[in-house]
Chains A and B, each alone.
Chain A
Amino acid sequence: MAKTAKITVDGKTYEVDATKNLLEVCLSLKLDLPYFCWHPAMGSVGACRQCAVKKFRDENDKVGKLFMACMEPIVDGMIISIQDAEAKEFRKGVIEWLMTNHPHDCPVCDEGGECHLQDMTVMTGHDYRRYRFKKRTYKNQYLGPFINHEMNRCIQCYRCVRYYRDYAGGKDFDVFGVHNTVYFGRHEDGVLENEFSGNLVEVCPTGVFTDKTLGKHYTRKWDQTYAPSICVHCSVGCNTIAAERYGLLRRVQSRYNGEVNGYFLCDRGRFGYEFVNSPKRIRKPLRKNKETRQFEELGSEDALKYIRKLLSDSKRIIGIGSARASLESNFTLLSFVEKQNFYWGESDRNIQLIQKQYDILRNGPARTPSLRDIEKCDVVIVLGEDLTNTAPMIALALRQSVRQEPVQSATPYRIPHWQDQAVRELTQDEKGPIFIATPLATRLDEISETYRAAADDIARLGFMVANSFSDRSPLVSGATDEQKKLSGKISEALKKAKRPLIIAGPSLQSEAVIEAAANIANAMITSGKTCELCFTVPEVNSMGMAMMDITHQGIESAFEALKNKPADTLIILENDLYRRAEEQAVDSFLGKFKNVIVLDYLENSTSLKADAVLSSGSFAESDGTFVNNEGRAQRFYQVYDAGENIKESWRWLRDIMLNSGLHEFGKWKILSDFTNALSKAMPVFDGINNITPPPGFRIAGEKIPREPFRYSGRTAMFANKSVHEPKPPEDIDSPLSFTMEGYRGKPPSSIIPFFWSPGWNSQQAINKYQIEIGGALHGGDPGKRLIEPKSGKTPAFFTKIPQAFSPRNGDWFVVPVYHIFGSEELSVNAPGINELTPKPYVMISSEDAGSLGLTSEKQIELEAQGKTYSLPAKLNLGLPKGLIGIPKGLPGMPEIKTGSWVRLKMG
């Protein structure tokens, strides 16, 4: 606590943080005070008048005056009253007029049962309607596949527009109209453009914005089974709450983690979950009939027997792991096939890059920041990453970083930083320095200074900046004027920075970019400044894979190795090899094995080629541990029991091992046995077992229930199948139970299945789980950082500076284009995300298109890797000459290597 003060609330004296406002302080003290417009992530504007309290001049003042708590700075010796009769009456009155136009449609409102407006209405005691006139009504808008709009329910708190425009930087949403007819929405129907629009669902205190995907299979909050989970759709590893009923995943919400995603999620993370319900799910083990080449379903026992038969006469087994599988699953496969036969199922190139990043973080002096740390940085350099599309929540965090510097300028005017409106009024459009160097325009360009270039030139710019801090980073010769000017500017900004940050990643497949980023950080630190270094990685557990003690060989190495030393059985763990390497190469690789065994949850090109498929659990049916890009190990738990045919991959693999006579693995029974074995075998993972309480953990002798205490229908849910109530499934892996029975209080922070507190049914109940509002959860924010910087040692500098990029006549250099909706393997199977996924295309700079006489949408023939593809063209303004943008991972899009040269022919 920075500055403290003593205040008296309803006769009781408390010591509180003086930099906060009165509302935050009261909530931190766990007092119930209603509010609407204030949001912990967005500060105060004092618009709703709901948080009124009485403030007294001194002890002798018995009358007092009403003030809005959210607008009151803390003053030492302050005396206030929440319970004061007049204050209570006022708050009740405010709700009453907010409710005059509110429709009484709670029964059909998706917010019902988890509605902040309901909670506050009950809290203030307003229970009878006196207004007898016509209510105002609105037309609703179509806002895309994610968000439902029902404007009649609006109470004009302005949270949505403040979130969408001010916090998330959206443009296509605003407030319209005046007086009693203000309207929150778009200027016309249409898909919300911002990639973080889903947070409106949680930000809006009423049912105006609700989750459309949930609405399609709606279930009330109290009827869902929850589990603490981790988003699997990128490397940031946002904490989520996943919810289920009847074996159908119903929705994903953000699970507050003060160090990671805080209150928010990106739309890929929030709405990508529907892949779990996809018709492409593998729900039973499969065996390929040798004659018909068709899959036949098997029971789990039969499947294991069949696999035992396959394995019994194999001489050598190759295992391919995956960065979308948990540490435990990869480790189990590794233990089975042994190190020399285990390959990390990623391209060799990516592995080199990720490995390099990990080594830099592990051996270097620069600290890897958490998402929360990123928000607090004041000068940021991004090299080569289109963050909105590769690590979305980092992009949202950067929108907060740009405010760091301007917000400081409010201090001399004695404007507290939570005074949102005043601070914005003062700082206007001022932005802190952010520099983004990428080949293509990014969403963040509007808040940054940009540099459009190929990877090598981006790296050169980085090296120039590094050199300006330390000569140990080599001098770049032959820099252009543009580069000189920009690098000078960047160095200037970095010198003034209080908390600078460099962000890079493997997207451009360029080692030089990563090395340049490391050099800047190292150079700054050796010159006596601080600097943080953030690397993105391709998948949810890529960092975890980099940390594992494996050979770090990729797919191509596996292809090569097989040529020298044949093997007959291949086990592929949650990996579609066709996304990693060229089709023919994979075809011929798979063709060389007698048996191909795949463990996965979605049908894909690889699983179709398998002889046997084991139905693994997705994140919703599995427990495990992921390590995010920060190096934070985080645990996720299964939401529901999917029966004996769907198991965690590590459990399947253990069963296979036992079946093959490896009885020593019989002692691996529950998750913690696997995790323990892992951290014993690989000391980097030391302590990951303790990031959540052990399975034997109980509070007052009870487990933590996954279901709210008023979960309904228990005796009727499955009665149509059998009237004999089934015995609830048991969870042997975690301290969570699958039912509503258990400890009703607040669970430890790392295993919170859902947020709820008496009187607080909405997500705002998070207040009650935090030590201080907006800060850490009680018991500390979940997860364990595994990578800490090495100080003291002089860091190694990279010395190889790449040549400047020079375009070739007639050839085009491939740069990747990532799409938040479409580039990620799993989420494209969610119908909503699929709807927003672009069709395959190639991107050409407008300049090049002009000289080729090419127009948008015209088909062009593209010659790459000896093949010709016909694709429609998209023109791009910023793309430098000689580069061609190839979208990554889109369904139907051929894989064309980043960094290769391709030819174009007009169609």
Chain B
Amino acid sequence: MPVKKRKKDFTLSEKLYIPEIMKGLGLTLKHMFKPKVTMEYPEVKFNPPAAFRGRPVLVQEENGVERCVACGLCARVCPALAIEVQASETNLDKERFPERFEINMIRCIFCGFCEEVCPEEAIVMSKDYELVFRNRNDAIFGKDKLLVPIAKLHDRLEFLRNFK
């Protein structure tokens, strides 16, 4: 059987190594003078666009009250069964508020269904993607971690208004 020439067989110049090494070093040299595209995370933070689905958060109005009326729809729709809302009564106009609101962030899959179903625009997907836990218990987010002032959520609320 005649020996077939294979594509990956090296050419002569390749077999000589040196020219190829020079080529490679040349490429490196060229890039040293080009502008950088890598983000220097964590020194530099990524600011995602409004369409980004970071961790779900609860909208806190300017007066400090959460928007949520504890209707339980987000809990119902959550495919990971990760949301728990316990309703209680309030004298405010909204009648109900979540006495307890918890998301198991180990379970959350960032699908955004909770945001989509919420009739009050009270739970939205934030830009927050930094979720580091030292232990699993820290991954249970209660109202203390979930409530975010509305001022920080304008982008997303605007986005929802335009595209939801």
Contacts and interface: CB of A to CB of B under 8 A. Distances in A.
A511 interface: no
Interface string A677-717: 00000000000000000000000000000000011111111
Interface in B66-122: 69-73, 75-76, 78, 80-89, 94-96, 102-104, 106-107, 119-120
Interface residues of A, number: 26
7 contacts: A220-B72, A246-B86, A712-B83, A713-B82, A713-B84, A717-B84, A723-B140
A222 B72 CA distance: 10
Given A107-B119, A108-B69, A716-B107, A723 B136 contact: yes
B73 A107 contact: yes
A219 interface: yes
Most chain B beta-carbon contacts within 10 A, residue among A219, A713, A724: A713
A292 interface: no
Interface in B31-67: none
Contact of A715 (B70, B73, B82, B95): B82
A108 B95 contact: yes
Contacts of A246: 86
A149 to B, nearest CB: 13
Contacts of B89: 215-216, 218
A724 B137 CA distance: 9
Contacts of A220: 71-72, 76
Contacts of A715: 80-82, 104, 107
Query: Chain B: interface secondary structure?
Result: mixed
Contact of A218 (B96, B102, B104, B140): B96
A723 B104 contact: yes
What 4 pairs across the A-B complex have the smallest Cβ distances?
A107-B71, A713-B84, A712-B75, A716-B84
Interface string A234-259: 00000000000010000000000000
A716 B83 contact: yes
B81 to A, nearest CB: 4
Contacts of B84: 712-713, 716-717, 719
Interface string A181-218: 00000000000000000000000000000000001101
Contact of A106 (B75, B94, B119, B142): B119
A588 interface: no
Contacts, number: 80
Given A723-B136, A723-B137, A712 B76 contact: yes
Interface of B: 69-73, 75-76, 78, 80-89, 94-96, 102-104, 106-107, 119-120, 136-137, 139-140, 142
A712 B136 contact: no
A723 B135 CA distance: 10
A720 interface: yes
B83 A713 contact: yes
Nearest to B140: A719
Nearest to A107: B71
Interface string A292-324: 000000000000000000000000000000000
Interface in A710-761: 710-717, 719-720, 722-724
A112 interface: yes
A532 interface: no
A274 interface: no
Contact of A720 (B73, B75, B142): B142
Nearest to B74: A712
B81 A714 contact: yes
A713 B103 CA distance: 8
B116 to A, nearest CB: 14
Most chain B beta-carbon contacts within 10 A, residue among A710, A717, A719: A719
Nearest to A710: B76
B76 A719 contact: no
Contacts of B85: 713
Query: Chain A: interface secondary structure?
Result: loop
A60 to B, nearest CB: 49
Nearest to A246: B86
Interface string A95-111: 00000000000111000
Contacts of A106: 71, 119
A84 B148 CA distance: 51
B42 to A, nearest CB: 26
Given A106-B119, A246-B86, A723-B136, 17 more contacts: A106-B71, A108-B71, A113-B72, A216-B89, A218-B70, A218-B89, A219-B87, A710-B76, A712-B76, A713-B85, A714-B81, A715-B81, A715-B107, A716-B83, A716-B104, A716-B107, A723-B104
A648 interface: no
B143 to A, nearest CB: 11
A223 interface: yes
B76 A108 contact: no
Contact of B81 (A113, A215, A712): A712
B139 A108 contact: no
Contacts of A113: 72, 76
A719 B104 contact: yes
Nearest to A112: B71
B65 to A, nearest CB: 14
A108 B89 CA distance: 10
Contact of A716 (B87, B88, B94, B140): B140
B60 to A, nearest CB: 18
B69 A712 contact: no
A719 B136 CA distance: 9
Nearest to B137: A723
Interface string A319-333: 000000000000000
A678 B101 CA distance: 48
B71 A716 contact: no
B82 A716 contact: yes
Contacts of B75: 223, 712-713
Given A220-B76, A710-B76, A719 B102 contact: yes
A717 B102 CA distance: 8
Interface string A478-497: 00000000000000000000
Contacts of B81: 711-716
A223 B72 contact: yes
A108 B94 contact: yes
A206 to B, nearest CB: 16
A719 B104 CA distance: 7
Contacts of A722: 137
A713 B69 CA distance: 17
A713 B140 CA distance: 12
Contacts of B95: 108
A711 B77 CA distance: 10
Contact of A712 (B72, B87, B106, B119): B72
A722 B104 CA distance: 11
Nearest to B102: A716
A215 B102 CA distance: 21
Interface string A595-617: 00000000000000000000000
A108 B96 CA distance: 6
Contacts of B94: 108
A107 B69 contact: yes
B22 to A, nearest CB: 56
A715 B105 CA distance: 10
A722 B135 CA distance: 11
Contacts of A218: 70, 87-89, 96
A414 B152 CA distance: 71
Interface in A352-377: none
B147 to A, nearest CB: 16
B83 A720 contact: no
Contacts of B136: 723-724
A118 to B, nearest CB: 12
Nearest to B138: A723
A712 B104 CA distance: 12
A216 B86 CA distance: 11
Nearest to B76: A712
B110 to A, nearest CB: 15
B102 A222 contact: no
Nearest to B101: A716
B105 to A, nearest CB: 9
A113 B72 CA distance: 10
